[in-house]
């Protein structure tokens, strides 16, 4: 028979289960959920307390998460939570076994962890979901034998009802913790990171990518095209980036690429970009992670490194170059003296030939120095290695000094390679400088080329081998020669940048570089580059070639005579040149060709001469670098009074920044490079006048 007490207890249990179901549905947090469980346990069974432990399997601990009871009618935050190892004590045994633990008198159980002498009996019931113990509901009582099988049944029922919701809350809490952790990590990264949808819509952007918080918040849900309008990204950059995002989303293959664009302030920035797909359980691309590094400083340092290394090599070359130029000047001065003293016609011609040859050697040397010292970006071109080495031989011999014999061993019919010619110059001269230092008492330096037949990869290679007969290197030194700033020289003899720069230049061209050396056996640097396929020369038929009617053979071109191609017809040419000797020779030669010549030493004088000339000025022949006004500035001023006046510029430096700012690039048709022969001058003046006249 059921007594009144049993009926009241049953009613309390039904009420507790009803409240528990409603509370589990309404709880908005893990703490609120635990309060619902604990309060209903106490309400159903009129207990002294209820403590809930959450099981941390990774650490092997049961961690006290909440403590409730009549003395704490509101949720109580555990400031110093108790941690019980899984498997130890009553709570630990419940967590380890997944079974309830009912102890009638804890003092008779030596494994009990005594922390409160007032507690006598204890009941611990695990909260289990999918055979995983999530937590333990634990209650202690001051009366021995207080807990019964009925208590255990109620605890177990409440634990079973709470388990699914506790599992969801723990997952949500873990997800929130992980989200906060990874966002905190991503927010502190120096690398730019963005997460996008497969359609290119931003889902997350870290502060390194976009500093302004308001802009970051605005960007979520937008695309690069939307961002471009707000930030002013170039259309081409946005188009390429969007295309790459779409390709990664389609193919699932990550991409790495370089990106450069000017900021709103006009500063050119360089970036290394990465786009990586994130796959879902079904194997489809769910997200795209875009990462970027601002490598502008690296680009700038690389440019500074190249320039510093070039200056180091130029310093080494200075003595040899000065020697060469002094030899050339000696030839010119001696010839001038001989001609002034008077020579028979035959001997005079021979002396003039020597002067012209000396000038050609000086021109070649100057052009190689300018090409070597330029500060332009790397511009890969088709290069014939044998031809480049032959042209460089003069500088190489000067750098080696007369104590070292230079030997060229060049393979015939060598394919071209693709590399920046100036970069290859730099590489060869750096290795030459090291060879010279390795042979202080003289020796032999060999520059050899070899055609390497196609191997398994089906591609031919071109090998350049640079060998010296010097002291050689120990293995520990040879293994580090390409490291930046590694050097065995004294601080005043080099910065250790040469071979590191050589390694970068060769690998950037798709080649390889290796060193072979041993003490006392000399050193060989082997450079290998992919061979380019041969090209078919393009035959250009001159405009004056006219086929003979009724014949199938190609007619013999009617080539105009040299006199016709450079002769004048009374046109007026204004010559502006601050170098007296050049101006005097130019004026005299143009007059001999039949031109009417006006001359001026500089821009201001040229403006006065032009203003006082009433007739037409058919052409301005001007140097680019002059006092007062540059050549382009002078022509611009002249065109204000004489619109459309043609101009031909002279310059001894094809990459002159003054010329480029004035719109006269190294490939411009209105540029006559110095030095030039009088015949070249006559032809270019005639061509400029004909072009201006429409013929």
- Looking at 264, 294, 324, the residue that finishes a domain is 294
Q: Are residues 282 and 356 in the same domain?
A: no
pLDDT of residue 329: 67
488 and 613 assigned to the same domain: no
Distance CA 592, CA 583 (A): 14
Q: What is the pTM of this model?
A: 0.36
7-39 pLDDT, tens digit each? 666 666 666 666 666 666 666 666 777 777 777
* Domain hosting residue 114, numbered range: 4-179
- Give the confidence band of 293 by pLDDT, cuts at 50, 70, 90: confident
**Pair (430, 342) in one structural domain:** yes
What's residue 549's pLDDT? 34
Give the orientation angle of helix 678-692 with respect to helix 580-592, to 10 degrees: 60
Domain end call among 294, 320, 342: 294
CA distance 637 to 614: 17
In a shared domain, residues 362 and 439:
yes
The confidence score (pLDDT) of residue 410 equals 92
Is the Cα torsion angle 40, 45, 48, 50 positive or negative in sign?
Answer: negative
Task: Say what the pLDDT of residue 545 is.
Answer: 31
Q: Residue 122, class by beta-carbon neighbours within 10 Å (0-12 exposed, 13-18 middle, 19+ buried)? A: buried
- pLDDT tens, position by position, 64-106: 888 776 555 555 556 678 899 999 888 999 999 999 999 988 8
DSSP string over 611-622: HH--S---EEEE
Give the pLDDT band (50/70/90) at residue 157: confident
Estimate to the nearest angstrom the gap between the alpha carbon of 153 and the chain centroid. Answer: 68
452 and 315 in a common domain: yes
Tokens 């730099």 belong to 426
Range of weakest confidence among 203-207, 407-411, 489-493: 489-493
Total of domains in the chain? 4
Q: What is the mean pLDDT of residues 412-441?
A: 84
Positive/negative CA dihedral, 29, 31, 35, 37: positive
Domain boundary among 530, 546, 574: 530
Indicate if 394 and 316 belong to the same structural domain. Answer: yes
pLDDT at 394 (0 to 100): 76
Axis crossing angle, helix 385-400 with helix 421-438, rounded to the nearest 10 = 40
| Contact between residue 117 and residue 17 where contact means Cβ atoms under 8 Å apart | no
Q: What is the mean pLDDT of residues 258-283?
A: 83
Asked whether residue 464 carries a pLDDT value surpassing 90, the answer given is yes
Predicted local confidence at residue 485, as pLDDT: 47
For 49, the 3-state DSSP assignment is coil
Mark whether 501 and 400 lie in a shared domain: yes
Confidence of residue 118 (pLDDT cuts 50, 70, 90): low
Whether residue 436 is found in the same domain as residue 397 = yes
Query: Is 539 a member of any domain?
Result: no
Contact 421, 381 (CB under 8 A): yes
């Amino acid at each position: 028979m059921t007594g009144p007490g049993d009926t009241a207890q049953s009613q309390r249990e039904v009420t507790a289960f009803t409240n528990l179901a409603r509370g589990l549905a309404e709880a908005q947090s893990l703490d609120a959920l635990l309060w619902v469980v604990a309060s209903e346990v106490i309400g159903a069974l009129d207990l002294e307390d209820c403590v809930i432990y959450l099981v941390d399997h990774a650490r092997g601990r049961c961690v006290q998460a909440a403590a409730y009871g009549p003395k704490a009618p509101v949720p109580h935050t555990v400031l110093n939570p108790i941690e019980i190892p899984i498997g130890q004590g009553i709570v630990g045994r419940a967590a380890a076994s997944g079974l309830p633990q009912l102890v009638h008198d804890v003092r008779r159980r030596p494994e009990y962890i005594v922390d409160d002498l007032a507690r006598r009996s204890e009941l611990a019931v695990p909260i289990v979901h999918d055979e995983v113990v999530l937590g333990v509901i634990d209650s202690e009582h001051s009366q021995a034998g207080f807990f019964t099988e009925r208590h255990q049944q109620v605890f177990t029922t409440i634990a079973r009802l709470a388990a699914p919701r506790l599992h969801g809350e723990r997952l949500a809490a873990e997800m929130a913790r992980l989200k906060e952790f990874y966002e905190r990590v991503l927010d502190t990264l120096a690398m730019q990171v963005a997460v996008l949808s497969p359609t290119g819509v931003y889902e997350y952007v870290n502060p390194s990518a976009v500093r302004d918080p308001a802009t970051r918040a605005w960007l979520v849900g937008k695309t690069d095209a939307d961002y471009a309008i707000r930030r002013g990204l170039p259309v081409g950059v946005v188009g390429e980036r969007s295309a790459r995002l779409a390709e990664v989303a389609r193919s699932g293959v990550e991409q790495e690429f370089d990106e450069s664009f000017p900021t709103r302030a006009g500063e050119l920035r360089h970036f290394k970009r990465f786009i990586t797909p994130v796959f879902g359980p079904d194997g489809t691309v769910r997200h795209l992670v875009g990462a970027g590094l601002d490598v502008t400083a690296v680009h700038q340092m690389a440019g500074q490194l190249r320039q510093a290394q070039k200056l180091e090599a130029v310093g080494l070359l200075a003595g040899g170059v000065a020697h060469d130029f002094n030899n050339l000047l000696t030839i010119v001065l001696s010839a001038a003296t001989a001609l002034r003293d008077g020579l028979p016609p035959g001997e005079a011609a021979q002396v003039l030939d020597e002067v012209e040859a000396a000038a050609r050697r000086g021109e070649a040397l100057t052009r190689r120095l300018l090409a070597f010292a330029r500060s332009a970006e790397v511009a890969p071109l088709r290069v014939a290695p044998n031809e480049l080495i032959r042209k460089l031989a003069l500088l190489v011999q000067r750098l080696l000094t007369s104590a070292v014999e230079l030997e060229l061993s060049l393979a015939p019919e060598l394919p071209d390679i693709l590399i920046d010619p100036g970069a290859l110059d730099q590489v060869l001269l750096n290795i030459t400088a090291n060879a010279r230092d390795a042979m202080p008492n003289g020796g032999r330096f060999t520059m050899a080329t070899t055609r390497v037949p196609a191997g398994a990869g089906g591609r031919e290679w071109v090998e350049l081998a640079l060998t010296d007969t010097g002291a050689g290197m120990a293995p520990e030194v040879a293994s580090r020669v390409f490291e930046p700033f590694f050097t065995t020289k004294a601080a005043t003899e080099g910065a250790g940048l040469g071979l590191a720069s050589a390694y970068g230049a060769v690998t950037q061209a798709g080649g390889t570089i290796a060193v072979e050396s041993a003490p006392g056996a000399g050193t060989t640097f082997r450079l290998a580059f992919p061979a380019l396929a041969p090209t078919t020369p393009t035959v250009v038929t001159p405009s004056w070639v006219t086929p003979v009617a009724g014949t199938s053979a190609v007619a013999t071109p009617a080539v105009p005579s040299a006199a016709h191609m450079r002769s004048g017809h009374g046109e007026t040419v204004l010559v502006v040149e601050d170098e007296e000797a050049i101006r005097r020779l130019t004026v005299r030669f143009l007059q001999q060709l039949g031109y009417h010549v006006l001359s001026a030493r500089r821009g201001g004088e040229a403006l006065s001469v032009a203003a006082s000339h009433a007739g037409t000025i058919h052409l301005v022949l001007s140097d680019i670098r002059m006092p007062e006004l540059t050549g382009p500035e002078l022509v611009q001023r002249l065109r204000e009074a004489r619109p459309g006046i043609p101009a031909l510029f002279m310059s001894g430096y094809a990459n002159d920044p003054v010329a480029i700012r004035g719109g006269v690039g190294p490939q411009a048709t209105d540029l006559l490079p110095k030095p030039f022969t009088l015949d070249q001058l006559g032809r270019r003046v005639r061509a400029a006048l004909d072009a201006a006249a429409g013929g």
